[in-house]
Structure 1
């Protein structure tokens, strides 16, 4: 009996040790090597270009920034050529820019981060809930900690005529992504947990309209894009058409039009690689732009939400990984149908950054940006960890099973009677 107990404890300890080792090997990149050994931007660009050539059908634009200046540019397309001025719909990446619009109003004193959003709304209010709506604040909406459980995800509409009003979309979005009801509601205690909510940013779109007295697209153009010199950026689909859109490729290599959205703040920014380069450079050089103060920029990248013990979100910006200088690589990714994948990331401490806009691949831009973060810092970013999660669980399961089988075999062998 003692032998069985000891063997069981040893087996359990081995399983726990194995799973802990696999977790840290995945989260810390113990077995991972940078995409390129050289620390030069041209070397990284060459490695990225090789990956794009091997894997990508569609179009893609990439800009690398070193010390606040453009260091490398790479563009490709299997259709109409693209360049730094080509305009893409960038999906959820627009949430980061939306946060700048919100912070403009915060700096003016028109919005307070910790005032219940109900005080700013006249056209719509959250539906009744078991939870206290006064805890739903601008700060929590920006950081996805307001207790909203919509899980949106908007798929958009094929034609402009189908687009709902903002109030109708908040009540029930007809273009909700599969598996979501489209209802924006309070399903958890505000401040208790992190839940990604596209609906929260649609509420912020309404807040900006209510407080500013302008349409969301007009406000963002006048108060963010024009001051930053982002001449090929808009939340207005018709204006984006006039600017000239890059082709939108699906996973089969065919083209189709970009979709129309009510939820502009959450998922329908149109911009170019050159404009996004201007935007991310502004994160590291507050003295070079007049939109937000350095204090607001610092607040945007201050941790406001965490998962599994890791800080993952500021106010509108994702915190991808520690930058080894007391801060974080920050930015946002965008991903939407049919195959839109966009990224913009920067280390504010160094002014190093990356922009990738693509259509035609599901996650290539995110994967390359994750490689850039690891190349720069030696740290696995949060999205790269999530993409490795299934493989990590598989290794945990297989290793644990092997340990248990070996333990059973060892125990069974020990019980066999000896022949004399």
Structure 2
């Protein structure tokens, strides 16, 4: 497709967009009396309008049934979380039994490492990416120290090549092979939070498995954003938050994937609680843990129903749309945004450098050479909600469910005005 940086062309794209009506499914903040252009779905997704109904249902059941809501609500609370498994399975490429929803992301990664980081004298090293998201770094370091190891010895970071902004798959696989039989775990962010790069999870997973290691993925920026096939890729586990591209609300419940080969095992190392024991015997209060034969065996306590309700509302939208249609628009709208940036770059006395490689999802990370944080402040004051990362990077994530092509054009005009008017 040959793009044009005009309002007329952007509106033509919107008119042909099969997902355009879903824009009306979301609430938008307003600046200067107008809906914002929202580029931070990679941090917190907008609220779906139907969320209120799902939350109100829970509040009504709590008000009218109290404790009996666990069994007699229209959506009984005791198995409420199970309603998410099938929809999430479609989003991440997994069987419903491989999915559970519980806790929050870093909590879940810690719980999963109990099962999948089992260091020995020989095999104790973890491979992760250079400058992983800080929470992942802290989690890995604390897990290693818990086992009496030194993070400097146990954690192996894969670095980008000098002068490059993205990782090369061959460098990651080379590091896996070099670590060899000392490698216990590969745990990386499937989509990097800073540059937006999508790693070749299939190839990396195979390389890690071939070396006899467990392989897991932090998919905070991946779920609801890119095509995933966790089961077929043979990953051992994964975890993700729900409040970015999945639009479930601030700090809401995390999802986990555990490959079916690890399910139904009574001897797997695991921190356990009563909500992970078999439903048939849970309320008999027996002293011995009998794991559910699904990923729910990793649950500890009653699921947080008021957190899960918005997740179920959002999943309803994803199920209606389907990941294939979502990704088809994602590719086009991100390409159009890239084109707009390139066209504006020709018109202003600045240089934009897109550091996100072609292996990407919704996000473009852009160096604004010659610009300071004042341009970010200008964008925010003029209704463009975006994200600033030091020293001079803005992250732009046009989520296809609620961003329009006209948004991309209007953003370009506001950016140009901000640079020219400084």
Query: What is the TM-score of this pair, normalised by structure 2?
Result: 0.27
Query: What is the TM-score of this pair, normalised by structure 1?
Result: 0.27
Larger Rg: 1
